[in-house]
Amino acid sequence: MKKNKYIILSAVILLSGFVAGVLGHFYKTKPNVSASVPAAINETQWQERHRIKIQEMEQGTNEMLLIGDSIMYGWETHKDICEKYFGTWTPLNLGFYGDQTQNVLWRLNNMPLHKVKPKYAVVLIGTNNVGWTNSMSPENTAEGIRAIVKILHDACPQMRIIVLKIFPRSRHFGFLQKRIDRLNKILPSVLHGMENVTVTDINSGFLNTDGSLKKEFFADPIHLNSAGYDYWGRAMQRELRQHEDAK
């Protein structure tokens, strides 16, 4: 009997170690990776999209830059909603699937920002830094966001930069959401004092009273559907109008 208990206990210990090792591999912070050091993604579609966006930017006709990851990219699949809320400013969509802050930094460093004179930049980036394989710390990620804002401000000092707090994800991934909550909490202090920068939080509209995601706004636990983009557009348009009225 004692021998069986020993075998079971050993198996439990081994299984626990395996699970911890797997989770550690996928989710522990890697201190040697910096969110503020520019890095390209060696992937054909990513590089091709970058080339296309350079060509669009060189036309110099855009008064708004939409900067981020796949969530920002989603405006391209909801062009009617984008036109409805942002059409006045002819936005240039610089959202790329899978992007983290360091990828955005590389793109901005390798784009002709001097060719455009936008009034606004809307930045939503960081969920891939804190919520996926080899996750970075919220503090590391916040420094990456600050570096992005600095590049944008140095290139276009008069441009209003609106940094959105990271959108919520499914509460089934609670330990990831805690990272996002921490990042959102420290963003205002990290960006404090930077000229023409606003940190905006529209996250309450994505959540039910119990803190769960409003399913009617989401295509999956992370990405928005048409209703979600419509909510985002309405919220952003109000802020943009308030800024223009205050001029």
Which residues lie closer than 8 Å to 9 by C-beta, 6 or more apart? none
CA angle 192, 95, 31 (to 5 degrees): 60
Specify if 205 maps to a domain: yes
Largest CA distance in the chain: 81
The CA R_g of the chain, rounded to the nearest whole Å, is: 20
Specify if 111 maps to a domain: yes
Q: Which of 136, 141, 132, 153 is nearest to 198 (CA)?
A: 153
Compute the Cα dihedral for 91, 96, 100, 105 and give only its sign: negative
Please report the pLDDT score of residue 61 as a whole number.
93
Q: Which two tokens stand for residue 37?
A: 């050091």
Question: Position of tokens 């206990």?
Answer: 9
DSSP designation for 165 = P
Question: Position of tokens 């802050």?
Answer: 101
Specify if 216 maps to a domain: yes
Average pLDDT over residues 212-219: 95
DSSP designation for 207 = B
> With 60 as the cut, is the pLDDT of residue 220 above it?
yes
- DSSP 3-state of 198: strand
Specify if 50 maps to a domain: yes
How many separate domains does the chain show? Answer: 1
CA angle 108, 76, 131 (to 5 degrees): 65
Specify if 4 maps to a domain: no
- C-alpha 235/C-alpha 201 separation (Å) is 10
Specify if 19 maps to a domain: no
What pTM does this model have? 0.85
Domain that holds residue 114: 31-245
Please report the pLDDT score of residue 242 as a whole number.
79
Residues 106-150: tens digit of each pLDDT: 999 999 999 999 999 999 999 999 986 558 999 999 999 999 999
Q: Please report, for the domain that includes residue 121, its CATH number.
A: 3.40.50.1110
Please report the pLDDT score of residue 166 as a whole number.
97
Specify if 179 maps to a domain: yes
DSSP designation for 224 = B
> With 70 as the cut, is the pLDDT of residue 83 above it?
yes
Distances (CA, A) of 103 to 35, 67, 171: 9, 11, 27
- C-alpha 120/C-alpha 64 separation (Å) is 5
Specify if 126 maps to a domain: yes
